[in-house]
Amino acid sequence: MQRKPADLPDEPGLDPQADLSLADLSPADLLDEQAMGEEEVAEASPFELDLSNEEASPGEVLKGTAVIRAHLRDAPKGPGVYRMLSEQGEVLYVGKARSIRKRIASYARGVGHSNRIARMISLTSSMLFVSTSTETDALLLEANYIKQMKPRFNVLLRDDKSFPYILLTGDHEAPQLTKHRGSRNRKGDYFGPFASVWAVNRTLNALQRAFLLRSCTDSYYENRTRPCLLWQIKRCAGPCTGEVSREDYALLTGEARDFLSGRSRAVRDRLAQDMGEAAEALEFERAARLRDRIAALSAIQGQQGINPRNTEEADVFAIVEQAGQFAIEVFFFRTFQNWGNRTYYPRADRSLTPGEVLDAFLAQFYADKPAPRLVLLSDEIENREVLAQALAIRVDHRVEILVPQRGEKKELVDHAAQNGREALARRLADAASQEKLLVALGQALGVPRAIRRVEVYDNSHIMGTNAVGGMIVAGPAGFMKSHYRTFNIKSDDITPGDDFGMMREVLRRRFSRLLKEEQGRGEAEGAPPQDVETFPSRPDLVVIDGGAGQFAAARQIFDELGVEGVSLISIAKGVDRDAGRETFFVEGREPFRLPPRDPALYFVQRLRDEAHRFAIGTHRARRKKDFTKSPLDEIAGVGPARKRALLNAFGTAKAISRAGLGDLEKVAGINAATAKLVYDHFNDRN
């Protein structure tokens, strides 16, 4: 349950009730809480703070400490989660504790805090508490809150895309082998995770050649009258048209399940034996097919990189630090095979230790992913036992978290750490190059401030249909794809094909929203965001793909909304659309070109091309969706399940439109009211 924040005391000291709460905690209690907490509370004189970076003044810290002390009396004594909020209601920090009151008391003492904690305390104006039954529940709730609220003082997992899996379906007479991402709501066997879609596609391609299982959808399968191309090129056994018996297809399915479950040696030995028997029986074509299947299995195992001999299932995490930046390398091992790796760059304060960053990262990483039986770490973490218990509850099996010191497991961790160091070095080098390019771009275009965020806009349509606007974003770390946005052109006042009108609508919507958000945060016009460590929401430079007309349309919107502190340029394609001959339009200057070999020119071309790619890709996706749109989509009350039932019963939307009311009512899953809706929709339209 949530507690209401207490009133602030008149003086920045402890009020009587808060004094009693703080006094109830012995030094041993405070030290015990310090040992289990994420923040360090040292014995020192009051307000001996490290103010070397973005100093928090002692007065501000005193004010924040008074707020925390006022909330101390309402803090639960048991486990739970606490949130620290700013004056604007922004969640500054989310933490969990075995005893919330002890943890809050460690903040309220106001001594020996690191600069990061001092800044956090100085910004705190209220607190909220949620009690939980166990510390394990608190850990899970903390991870969920962090992923949802993204507090600026927490370690943040910035790339939380779900991992792809291989799914062998179990809800059909002829199981399908397919790629899966998202929730596991379909019956079948899931194998993974794989680090990338590329790894899944490569493995699926080889599995099709090895086991000849179908990859088509159930609806495609049901409507086949003759084998498809995959059967002809020996990538499918053809169960849809009876080219293989149900019993033989079940054997293929079992072999695929055994191989993906780790019994690959037994599968290969069985195929090799069958190949030998076929050769002895002079069945050379069958022997050749078995030979090709064995080769496909060898290709899968040969492309997995390093494969451990004694570690069947494990996730390996190694954290490295360089120049105040952290990188966490994750390797996935399943069935004694390496199924790929991925590098994460969590947002974390440089005052944190690698173990603290890894501790916070793991809880968020497994918030929506199943954990294996073994997790290997490069550094010791504080919440190792609690995290293992939480993960075991979620996956219904024991989870062991180890920091290996020798042997094969230590070699796996060292290998991950080496990959992490190389990835972080490349990232830092790329960031340095990107910084130089941003400086060069600012100098070439006359931008009066350092460029931290660039937004590039482009439109895409065909004769005004399916018109979309695209916004791509770049910064010191490269393209910031999580900040990309698309705008479906909605205005009825725009003439189809009016690029200027489309650009005006896109920019009006984008900057109207930005100004409202800044007003809600209380930021001054043109001022940088309060949290300078995060990527800013306001651009320093806006680039429009177009000529003088597009520039004038954009300038009109900026003047209309009162946008200040944002530089605006437009880039027109050169003669014959040749790269390198682009013309730039900037307010207060005559149109100009950059030297052909200028690095800033190459950089802005990359930005323009990325915006074009993003806009046209979004347009094609929208156009494709219109191509596959069904008249049933227009009927309110007919969702995917009822739509599927109608199509299974009648085959096509055209047949449904011709069906009588009685025929519609006979469809399984369609009640009389829905049948009447469908019937009236098509007959009224006719």
Domains present along the chain, CATH in parentheses: 16-149 (3.40.1440.10), 165-302 (no CATH), 314-425 (3.30.420.10), 446-625 (3.30.420.340), 631-685 (1.10.150.20)
Cβ proximity of 143 and 135 under 8 Å? no
Q: Contacts from 568-574 at CB under 8 Å and sequence distance 24+?
A: 568/541, 568/542, 568/544, 569/445, 569/541, 569/542, 569/543, 569/544, 570/543, 570/544, 570/545, 570/546, 571/543, 571/544, 571/545, 571/546, 571/604, 571/608, 572/546, 572/547, 572/548
> Is the pLDDT at 38 greater than 80, yes or no?
no
203 three-state secondary structure:
helix
Dist CA 403 CA 380 (whole Å): 6
Give the integer Cα–Cα distance in Å for 32 and 26.
Answer: 10
Largest CA distance in the chain: 97
Give kind and range of the element (H or E) at residue 408: helix 407-445
Cα–Cα distance measured from residue 565 to residue 515, given in angstroms and rounded to the nearest whole number: 12
The dihedrals phi and psi of 33, each to the nearest 5 degrees, come to -70, -35
Judge contact between 328 and 361, C-beta under 8 A: yes
Could you tell me which residue, 442 or 336, shows the higher pLDDT? Answer: 442
E strand spans, 378-511: 400-402, 454-462, 465-475, 478-479, 485-488
- The helix/strand/coil state of 268 is helix
Token pair 């029986």 is found at 281
CA 588 to chain centre: 41
Q: Residue 319 gets which letter from DSSP?
A: E
pLDDT of amino acid 306: 53
Better pLDDT: 299 or 413:
413
pLDDT at 473: 93
Sign of CA dihedral 84, 86, 90, 93: negative
Q: How far apart are CA 340 and CA 195, in angstroms?
A: 5
Q: What average pLDDT score do residues 293-309 get?
A: 58
| DSSP helix/strand/coil, 89 | coil
Give the C-alpha separation, 208 to 296, whole Å: 9
In 654-682, which positions are buried (b, 16+ CB within 10 angstroms) versus exposed (e)?
Answer: eebbebeeeebbebeebeeebbebbbebb
Task: Return the pLDDT at 401.
Answer: 92
Give the pLDDT confidence score for residue 21 in this predicted structure: 39
Q: What angle do CA 358, 361, 364 make, to 5 degrees?
A: 155
Q: Are 479 and 610 in contact (CB under 8 A)?
A: yes
pTM, to two decimals = 0.61
State the chain's mean pLDDT as an integer. 78
Q: pLDDT confidence of 454, banded at 50, 70, 90?
A: very high
* DSSP β-ladder status, 400-402 and 374-377: parallel
User: Between 306 and 509, whose confidence is greater?
Assistant: 509
